[in-house]
Structure 1
Amino acid sequence: KPDFTAVTFLALAASQFREIRSIERKTLENLEENELVGRGSDYIEGIARTFEARNYLVMATALLTSIAHELGKWPAALVLAVLAILFARAFMAGETIGDICEVVPARLWFNKDGVLMVEDIGFVNIGLREMREKIVAEGLAVLIRPKNADARATIHDLGQRQAIAHTVAVLLGTKKDVDLPEYTPMARKNPDTGEVGLYTVPVEKDMEALILAVKRAPVLESARSRPLKTEAGRLAARP
């Protein structure tokens, strides 16, 4: 007589995994209130999706390994388990900003009207002279240059830019506090060139570390765009 116990538990686990995304999303949204530099709703949704996907990958790996054991005993199960784990790691790695963009140091300065500039990208007006001097002395800036039209569309997404700023703040620290909004890491785009400038006042002033942090920022699934996959996008991208 067939035993469907394992199938029953498999179906039960799958139904529970569907709740994981909402639980993780709610947890991160609650924590967002206390973040000096927030993740943003797009980043939170991406993390929640990743948590859900990881559970499905674990379940699939266990299922395939069990089938391999039944068909070929331990040697087959061991080989398939290793292959499944390697596939899962590669699948979950995802793209980073360093894969689709170049990140280079940029000049941080103020124009005559007191507007904070990264190269020729305007950010925000800083009124206090002492604050402007401190930002120029301790701040860092980079330019994020997209490698193609797909990358340009991706980094123009507001959620993607917020994710980059959050990653930089987490990895390098930030001198921002509740009463120092001027130190908030920000990313703004140049509408003419498609480049994105990023400014921050880190705890440790290290340009190499900043470039590496930006490159390691994840590309959000919700921000990912593929205009070059369409004829209209290819025509628009022609020089």
Structure 2
Amino acid sequence: MFEYSYIIVPSILLGIISRISMLKVDYRQYPSYPQGVFSHFTLGIVSSSLGAVALPALLEREFSAVTFLALAAQQFRDVRNLERQSLENIDKTELVERGTAYIEDIAKAFEARNYMTMLTSLIVSIVIFLLNKFLIRFYSILIGSIIGILTIVLFHKAISRETVGEIADIYPANISFEGSILTVNNLGITNIGFKKSREIFLEKATAVEIVPKDENAIVTLSNLGQRKAIEHNVSVQLGIRKDLDEPDFSPMTTRDPDTGNLVFVIVSMEPDIECLITAVKRTIVLESAKRKPLSSYAGRKAAD
């Protein structure tokens, strides 16, 4: 296998670069740093190595070695299950939980990224092997590396996610009370019994109205998991003025049954309406929540 080192080494390196480029620690702090990042980085090395040695193993008729690809697939599925379990366990410690849909979305993303790392290494190894038959080895490695970088860019575009701001318009909303009923843009949300809590809402709460751009967006944003993701992301970025014994101050999202619009209200630590709009806009659209009724005959007919 050492005679194929000119294939294996560049393929592993490009695979590792692919995984590093997908590791991003932002305000969500997941994967956590440094333990979580190190764990995923190590898995990236494993998956890139498997992709890099697959072709040389076939060339050497080491068919048993290729079975490791099947084992890797099983391992990556186990990683997905572990990520799900870990997130479900720590979600109970959040003041505003992510929700099961958001957790499943994160778990699937980490599984898919390991496959993409392995495919990047495999593609680079195939390109270098084929070009080596016609070009000097240095140029075959160089072109293979360029193809690997292009593959990484394409994979990034493939896994890029829509945001709420791309499927809906977000506008500031007015908060008021009808008796003890909290209303946002005249849409009743919940009963706030304590007078002091109502005063805090009027003084410190901010609210927005989320207006879907089409019928696809209406159905997507009606998903409870998507709404929970918005509540969690905003509370993490802007902070939240509540504790376990203060349910009145939980962020709330309510849907207007007539229009499909959502209203969202939060009593945040930083009551800035522009920041609230930005935080809502940048919330990702969950794969499990995304729907396209306009792609069906019945959906298009009903929308006419």
Which bracket does the TM-score occupy, shorter chain normalised? Answer: over 0.9
> 2:245 is matched with which residue?
179
Structure 2 distance, partners of 1:102, 1:135, is 24
CA deviations on 1:126-159 (whole Å, 9 max, x unpaired) are: 1111111111110100000000000000001111
> 1:221 is matched with which residue?
287
> 1:52 is matched with which residue?
111
Q: Given residue 20 of structure 1, which amino acid in structure 2 is its aligned partner?
A: V
Counterparts of 1:88-99 in structure 2, within 5 Å, are 88-99=155-166
> 2:269 is matched with which residue?
203
Q: Given residue 213 of structure 2, which amino acid in structure 1 is its aligned partner?
A: K
> 2:127 is matched with which residue?
68
Structure 1 distance, partners of 2:144, 2:198, is 63
Return the offset for 1:38.
0.5
Of 70, 74, 89, the match for 1:30: 89
Structure 2 distance, partners of 1:176, 1:86, is 42
Return the offset for 1:189.
0.3
**TM-score, with structure 2 as normaliser:** 0.75
Return the offset for 1:162.
0.7
Structure 2 distance, partners of 1:71, 1:108, is 65
Structure with larger RCO (C-alpha < 8 A, sep 6+) = 1
Of 247, 257, 269, the match for 1:191: 257
3-state SS in 1 of match to 2:210: strand
Q: Which runs of 5+ in 1 are unaligned?
A: none
3-state SS in 2 of match to 1:7: helix
Return the offset for 1:10.
2.6
**TM-score, with structure 1 as normaliser:** 0.95
Structure 1 distance, partners of 2:269, 2:118, is 42
Matched, 1:166 2:225: no
> 1:107 is matched with which residue?
174
Identity %: 46
CA deviations on 1:72-123 (whole Å, 9 max, x unpaired) are: 2212211111111101211222111111001111001111x21111102211
Structure 2 distance, partners of 1:194, 1:66, is 50
Return the offset for 1:3.
3.0
Structure 1 distance, partners of 2:265, 2:234, is 10
Matched, 1:10 2:69: yes
Return the offset for 1:7.
2.1
Structure 2 distance, partners of 1:208, 1:86, is 32
> 1:81 is matched with which residue?
148
Counterparts of 1:117-196 in structure 2, within 5 Å, are 117-196=183-262
Matched, 1:42 2:109: no
CA deviations on 1:166-191 (whole Å, 9 max, x unpaired) are: 11111111112111111111111000
Structure 1 distance, partners of 2:251, 2:119, is 40
Q: Given residue 201 of structure 2, which amino acid in structure 1 is its aligned partner?
A: I
3-state SS in 2 of match to 1:182: helix
Q: Which runs of 5+ in 2 are unaligned?
A: 1-59, 132-139
Return the offset for 1:8.
3.4
Aligned length: 237
CA deviations on 1:192-227 (whole Å, 9 max, x unpaired) are: 111000010111111111111101111111111111
3-state SS in 2 of match to 1:123: strand
Return the offset for 1:5.
6.2
Q: Given residue 102 of structure 1, which amino acid in structure 2 is its aligned partner?
A: D
Return the offset for 1:12.
2.4
